[in-house]
Every structure is written in structure tokens, then in C-alpha cells.
Chain A
Amino acid sequence: MKFSSFAFSCLIALAVVSTGCDKSSSNTEPGADSSAPAAESNLVGTIKVDGSSTVQPISNAIREGFIKEHPNVDIIVSGNGTGNGFKSFYDKGTDISDASRPIKGGEFEQCKENGVEFVELPVAYDGLTIVVNPQNDWVKELTVDQLKSMFVGDDAVKNWSDVDPSWPEEAIQIYSPGTGSGTYDYFHEVLAKKSKKELRGDMNLNEDDNILVKGVSDNKFAIGFFGVAYYEENKDKLRAVPVVNPKDEVAYEPTTENIASNKYAPFSRPLFIYVNTDSLNRAEVQTFVEYFVANTPEVSEKVGYVRLPEAVMAKAQANLDAVKTGTHFVDESGESRSGALTDLFVEENLVK
């Protein structure tokens, strides 16, 4: 075997381990073959994927199914964050960029400058959940304005009683994902983008969502936010706060149905993949992206996200088939559009 000769020439000192390695690589491959369909695939190649760590589980899961059918394709899925992902995407370091927000004007500009054209494909919904301690019995629902008063600017309110006089006179303790995460960006965009302000600086920031879960579940006067998948896993320790939809003034829980139907607004966000059109010439990338779009509804549900409406998926499929390049989320002047995915992801908004 190619691999074993490599092992031996490379690692004389660790010969024992490398013989074991032979055993296992032959162990895993038949397992992959046995579940493959009858028509054997000899597709080969390497596909480089980087971007949002929120989308990484979806890409990893898609990869897992894909290499069962096409065992010789090597797919590297890295999760260095949406911004870093776009950076290596426009530097031609990756074929596909995972993103937990649409591309920004500046990134789109860089792509054009470097001659990188792409197809924009939404793959799933992620709901941003606002959580409190289960012992918190005063917050029944929150409006966007209340959230703004709590989270935006350095003059944000300090005590619960400042938001609503009937609430306890205790300090609000906030647990938030780190500033590098797409989740923080998204929360900032929803609450503070228009007023051109920053989120308050005295929050407990942490990249590890488990620490946020622990912080809120240990503290009666705490509030936090993160992706819906984390809430689903920690339902027993936390309580999700229904958010009042500004359009119909009704509070909705972050349930799967409410996120998919866009009622849980404005805190449900779409997740995307961006595919370099030059890479689509390659048989392995083309096959992988087609597989991605076909399987993402089931797979993203399995890894804790919400599937997109069928109309959106059909539009994505059509855009891929016709290789329609450009983004729907940046207008001609380079400003990001805001609004629901179903409203924005339409032909008229496509900017090359």
C-alpha cells in the first residue's frame, strides 16, 4: 500500500504505530465501500472548505455522506470563522466558503478585485436564542426595543428594574459569544446596526458556548444568547425567552416551526455556502455541491439547525444549475441589504 510505504520511510522510530495504521486504514475503507451504491465512483480530487464554525457541522456531515459514495475525494472542512473564511475565499485559498451571514460589501469588492466569482447558496436556518435562568420568573417575553435598551451602547441599563419597573432591582449579567463569532455579529446587526452603535462593553464574552450555558444556568439574574442548537441541548438548564415580532406584535418561541416560517423574527438567520465558479468546472466540486444542495435539508436538521423552505431550496438549486454568480445581499452601492431571507433571495436583488 502507498500509505504504508510512506509510513515506513517517514517514521522509523515509530514503526510499531505505523503498522497499526495500516490495519486501520484498511479497516475504515471497506466500511465506506459497503454502504456505497452499486455504481462505483472513481471520483478523485481535493476540495477545500473554510469559514463559519456554525456551518462547519453541516459541511462536515455532508462530507461524511459524500465520501461514503465517493471514497477517494478528500474534503478539508476548516472552521476558522466567517470573516477568515471569506478572506481565504477571495485569496483563492478555498473552493467553498461557509458563512453564518451573507457576504459583506467589502468582501464582495475583494472578490471582484481578485477575479473570484461565486454562486451564493443558502443551506439552513439558525435561530438565535435569548436565554435566561429557569428561576427567572419575571421575564415572560422581550421586545426588540427592550433588548436594545439592555444590550446596546455603554449607556445600556444596569438593572432589570430599569427595563420594567415591576422587575427586580438586581444587576443584569450578560453572557455573550465572543466578538469574532458570526453570532455576535448577527446580534449586533439586528440590534445596533441602524443606530451605528456598538453592543455594550461590559458583557461576559466567551467563544465557548458551554461556558455561556453554565454562566446563565448558575445565575438567576443572567441573560445570554447563542445558536438554537445549543439551547436544544440544554433545555433542562435554561429557558428561552419568546421575542416579540415587530411586524405582528406577537411573541414567538424559537421553535423549529417559528424559525422556518419566519415568525421568530428578527432573530432567525440563514446560513450559506459560497462556491467559487472556477472550482465548479472540476468534477469533484460540482458533484459535491450538487450533493450538498440536495441533502442539506435533512442533514442540517440532524445536526441541530432548521431546514429552509422548499421554495428557497428550489431557487438555490436553479441558481446552481444556471451558475448564476453574485450576491443577493449587497446592493449596487456596496451596502448590505437587510430583511428576511425569503424577501431578499430573489432574482431582482442579484448583483454581479
Chain B
Amino acid sequence: MATDINAPVDNSDPPAASGYPGGGYAVSTDNSSRRKLYSRLFYLLCVLISGLSVVVLGVLLVSIGWQGHSRLTWDLLQNSHSELNPESSGMWPSIIGSVFICGICAASALPLGIGTAIFLEEFKPASKPLRMLHSFIQLNISNLAGVPSIVYGLLGLSLFVFMFNVFGRIQVNESSGTELFGVSHYYQVLSLAGGGHTVLIPQEDESQKTIKIDEPTQAVSRDGETFELAIWDPASGQPKPSDPEVRKRTVRKGQGGGAYSETEWYYLRLPFGKSFLAAGLTLSLVILPIVIIASQEALRGVAPSLREASFGLGSTKWQTVRHVSLPAAMPGIMTGAILAMGRAIGEAAPILVVLGAAVAKNSGPQNLMDNVVTMPVLIFNWAGRQQAAYQELAAAAIIVLLAVLLLMNSAAIYLRQKMRVG
């Protein structure tokens, strides 16, 4: 493309350079050589500016690559954050965390965003009050696209994390909000076996958060079978049971225990609390305006003649959208979606607000209400530490983040290509 622009300039160059400013050419005006010079200078300026952005990117990649290449190991991909051994720290849980959050984000933002765009572009109302509502929504969306993401973080905090306290508050030792399903309540009591061995006792009254064992009760083992929990009273003078198996089923008289909630992966409660579900939904708010605007642009780009032809054949509005506009606009919509997801995976500010700044976690989320670590938050934490090892790890983690982003983008581009062919 660049050479195309260049070609005509080059052709007309010799007269200007040869010192005859238009004198020998009847068609040329006096300032033609100057105009051509400006044109050439402008072209050079454009090359310079576009070159500059490439150079900045190049410098960034080289410096990060230089700093982080020694840490790009399997350790980085497989391990989790370690405070005691920075050398073997890794980012596996954060990769999973980011992917999960982006999954939630895509699943909620894309259908909503594309749907809104279809409504705004394809179903333009005729009556005046509705038209005003329509343009009001339009105006709001354009404004929302420019709102800083930290504001969305605060919105997500009250909307998803606390849900305005409508469903109760999540407080340690007191309340877990309104639990819908996927949870069973127990008391956890230390047994005589020591070393952190405990027994679980089913909770009958959920408001009673602690228990004191004074008489034998029913307990459940971790395999789910019920057994009779024995009591050992040190004051009675009986010797402490010596058999390890008996000890595991015996507790000291008067031993206290606290509440423990066993959760399945589909555990759901309201409000969501500091969970990856809340984080994903918050990010979907961040990218929603981008998705809507990009989808609108794509739908606007579909030739009106296509729609008119469809209407002419007798299709309804819905049939036209479903079979004509949407397929034709899909590549553009996908491009918008890719850009939006790229932004979502790199956001740190709303995640910090919603999830907090925890970085030490050894696995991905265990249930829908679980906390996760994400790549941007981990990089933010590592980059702020004093040890050189973490600085290098941060650089390496940036490379991994870029690689994941690239991977996601290429998958989306591949999908887009497929759709275009179809």
C-alpha cells in the first residue's frame, strides 16, 4: 500500500530535483514543485510516525524479552507463586484464573452486547417517545465506553460482590449470605489423632456456628459414612487411646469446633462475594460498550440493498436479521469481540477492587464462588517487589500474558475466517 502512494510522487520527482521549478512545463503552475515536495514530506512524516509506534513496541518486546527470557521455563507455567523460593515461582493458577474470568466475561458480554446492537441498529422504533429512548440509550453507550475501568470495578463491587446487601451480608463466622445450592454444613472438630486430623459433624441448626462436644454424637467420615464419635475425658483418669484408628474417631471432652461449609463445584450463593463469577461479570460491564459499538458499526456496514432484497422476498424482520444482516456483519462483530476480550484479559484495576490483591493460590477456582488469581494482578504484584527474581518473573509473565492473548486472538481470527467462508 505504501509503495502505491509513493509511486506517483517518485515519477514526478525529477523535474523538481533538476532545478527547473515548473519552467519547462506549460501545465505546471509556479508552486507545483513545492506542493509535490510537501506531499513527499507528508509521506515521510507518516512513515516516521507509523515507524515510531512499531519501534516503541519493538523496544518494549526486546526489553521485556531480555529481562524475562531466563525465567521462561516450565516452572513458570506449572508452579504457583512462592514467597520462600522465588526461583521456582510460577503462574499456572493465574493463567487458569484469567481464562476462567474471560470465559465468564465472554459468555455474558457477547450475547448481551450483540443483542443490544441488533436492537439499536435493526429495530429502530417509529414513534417519537421510543425514538427518544433509543437515542438516549445510544448516547449512554457512547459515554460508557469512555468511563475508566476502576469505576466499573466499584460498580461491580456493590452490584455483584455485595448485591446492595439485599440478600444478606457475607461475614466470617456469621453468615454466608443466601446459599442456593451445592453446599453442606458441618462442624469441624480436631480429633485425638493430631497433625491436623479432624472429624466432621453434620450441622443441624445453621445459626449455631460453634459446637462443644460433651457426649458421643454422630459424625461422618470423609468417605461419607456415618460413625459414632467417641469421647475421651482426660479428667476421668482413663488412658488416652493408643490405636491411631480409634484416635481418629475420638475427640477430647469439651473440644470446641467451628462451622465448615463443604461445597460442590456448582455452589451458588447470593451475593456472589469476592468470587471469580463476580469478577467476570464486572469485566463484562467494562467491555460491553466496546462490543455494542463495534457490533453496531459492523451491522451498519451491511449494504442496505441486501436487507431490502430480503424484505422484497417477503421475509420478516427477524428472518432478515437472522439470515442476512447478522451473517454479513459477523466478521466485524468478531473483530470487536477480539479487541474487547483483549482488553478484558489485561485489566487489573477492576479485578483488584472486586477480588482484592491476593496472589498466593495453588489451583484454579474450585467452585463458582471461589477466589482466583489473574495474570495482570500477579504481574502487578511481582513487578513491585524488591527481589530481582520477581522482577524477571514479572517480565516473563508479561510474555506469557501476551502469548495467551495472541493465542486467544488467533483462535478468534480463525473462527472469523471460517464464518466468512461459510
* Residues on A facing B (Cβ under 8 Å): 2-3, 5-7, 9-11, 13-14, 17-18, 21, 24-25, 27-28, 32, 37, 39-45, 48, 50, 53, 56-57, 60-61, 63-65, 67, 69-70, 74-80, 91-95, 207-210, 213, 229-230, 232-234, 276, 278-279, 281-287, 299, 302-304
Within 8 A of A (CB), among B186-232: 188-190, 193-198, 209-210, 222
Find B260's partner among A44, A76, A94 (CB 8 Å cutoff). Answer: A44
- On whether the beta carbons of A282 and B188 are closer than 8 Å, the reply is yes
- On whether the beta carbons of A281 and B260 are closer than 8 Å, the reply is no
| CB closest residue in chain A, given B77 | A24
- On whether the beta carbons of A76 and B361 are closer than 8 Å, the reply is yes
* A317 CB to nearest chain B CB (Å): 18
* B86 CB to nearest chain A CB (Å): 10
Q: Could you name 7 residue pairs across A and B whose Cβ atoms are closer than 8 Å? A: A3-B366, A44-B188, A61-B84, A74-B370, A210-B391, A230-B386, A302-B84
Within 8 A of A (CB), among B352-396: 356-367, 370-371, 381, 383-384, 386-388, 391
How far does the alpha carbon of A70 sit from the alpha carbon of B381 in the complex, in Å?
Answer: 26
Residues of B near A229 (CB, < 8 A) are 386
How far does the alpha carbon of A32 sit from the alpha carbon of B84 in the complex, in Å?
Answer: 14
- On whether the beta carbons of B360 and A63 are closer than 8 Å, the reply is yes
- On whether the beta carbons of A2 and B264 are closer than 8 Å, the reply is yes
Residues of B near A61 (CB, < 8 A) are 83-84
Find A64's partner among B83, B106, B197, B356 (CB 8 Å cutoff). Answer: B83
| Given contact pairs A17-B99, A39-B195, A40-B197, A283 touches B106 in the complex (Cβ within 8 A) | no
- On whether the beta carbons of B371 and A76 are closer than 8 Å, the reply is yes
| Given contact pairs A76-B371, A94-B172, A10 touches B259 in the complex (Cβ within 8 A) | no
How far does the alpha carbon of A80 sit from the alpha carbon of B380 in the complex, in Å?
Answer: 13
How far does the alpha carbon of A279 sit from the alpha carbon of B257 in the complex, in Å?
Answer: 10
* B346 CB to nearest chain A CB (Å): 17
Residues of B near A10 (CB, < 8 A) are 100, 103-104
B11 close to A (CB within 8 Å): no
- On whether the beta carbons of A283 and B386 are closer than 8 Å, the reply is no
* Residues on B facing A (Cβ under 8 Å): 78-84, 92, 95-96, 99-100, 103-104, 106, 170-174, 188-190, 193-198, 209-210, 222, 256-260, 262, 264-266, 356-367, 370-371, 381, 383-384, 386-388, 391
Residues of A near B357 (CB, < 8 A) are 53, 56, 78-80
- On whether the beta carbons of A69 and B196 are closer than 8 Å, the reply is yes
- On whether the beta carbons of A41 and B195 are closer than 8 Å, the reply is yes
| Given contact pairs A44-B188, A279-B172, A77 touches B196 in the complex (Cβ within 8 A) | no
* B13 CB to nearest chain A CB (Å): 48
- On whether the beta carbons of A283 and B195 are closer than 8 Å, the reply is no
* B168 CB to nearest chain A CB (Å): 12
- On whether the beta carbons of B197 and A60 are closer than 8 Å, the reply is no
| Given contact pairs A282-B258, A282-B260, A78 touches B358 in the complex (Cβ within 8 A) | yes
| Given contact pairs A39-B197, A234-B386, A279-B172, A284 touches B188 in the complex (Cβ within 8 A) | yes
- On whether the beta carbons of B384 and A283 are closer than 8 Å, the reply is no
* A177 CB to nearest chain B CB (Å): 11
- On whether the beta carbons of A28 and B195 are closer than 8 Å, the reply is no
- On whether the beta carbons of B171 and A92 are closer than 8 Å, the reply is yes
* A133 CB to nearest chain B CB (Å): 18
| Given contact pairs A91-B171, A303-B83, A304-B386, A24 touches B78 in the complex (Cβ within 8 A) | yes
- On whether the beta carbons of B367 and A60 are closer than 8 Å, the reply is no
| CB closest residue in chain B, given A84 | B356
How far does the alpha carbon of A82 sit from the alpha carbon of B359 in the complex, in Å?
Answer: 17
Find A25's partner among B172, B266, B363 (CB 8 Å cutoff). Answer: B363
Residues of B near A286 (CB, < 8 A) are 190
- On whether the beta carbons of A283 and B172 are closer than 8 Å, the reply is no
- On whether the beta carbons of A60 and B257 are closer than 8 Å, the reply is no
Find A92's partner among B92, B173, B363, B391 (CB 8 Å cutoff). Answer: B173
- On whether the beta carbons of B258 and A209 are closer than 8 Å, the reply is no
Find A42's partner among B99, B222, B264, B383 (CB 8 Å cutoff). Answer: B222
Residues of B near A234 (CB, < 8 A) are 386
| Given contact pairs A67-B362, A92-B172, A302-B84, A44 touches B262 in the complex (Cβ within 8 A) | yes
List 18 additional A-B contacts (Cβ < 8 Å) besides A42-B222, A302-B84: A3-B366, A10-B103, A18-B96, A39-B193, A39-B197, A42-B196, A57-B83, A76-B358, A92-B172, A94-B172, A209-B384, A210-B384, A282-B173, A283-B190, A283-B196, A284-B188, A284-B260, A304-B386
Residues of B near A48 (CB, < 8 A) are 172
* B285 CB to nearest chain A CB (Å): 20
| CB closest residue in chain A, given B366 | A3
How far does the alpha carbon of A117 sit from the alpha carbon of B124 in the complex, in Å?
Answer: 60
* B208 CB to nearest chain A CB (Å): 12
Q: State the 5 A-B residue pairs at the shortest beta-carbon distance, nearest first.
A: A282-B258, A39-B195, A41-B196, A92-B171, A78-B356
- On whether the beta carbons of A28 and B198 are closer than 8 Å, the reply is no
Residues of A near B171 (CB, < 8 A) are 91-93
Residues of B near A39 (CB, < 8 A) are 193-197
- On whether the beta carbons of A80 and B356 are closer than 8 Å, the reply is yes
How far does the alpha carbon of A233 sit from the alpha carbon of B265 in the complex, in Å?
Answer: 43
Residues of A near B81 (CB, < 8 A) are 60
Find A281's partner among B82, B103, B174, B256 (CB 8 Å cutoff). Answer: B256
How far does the alpha carbon of A158 sit from the alpha carbon of B105 in the complex, in Å?
Answer: 52
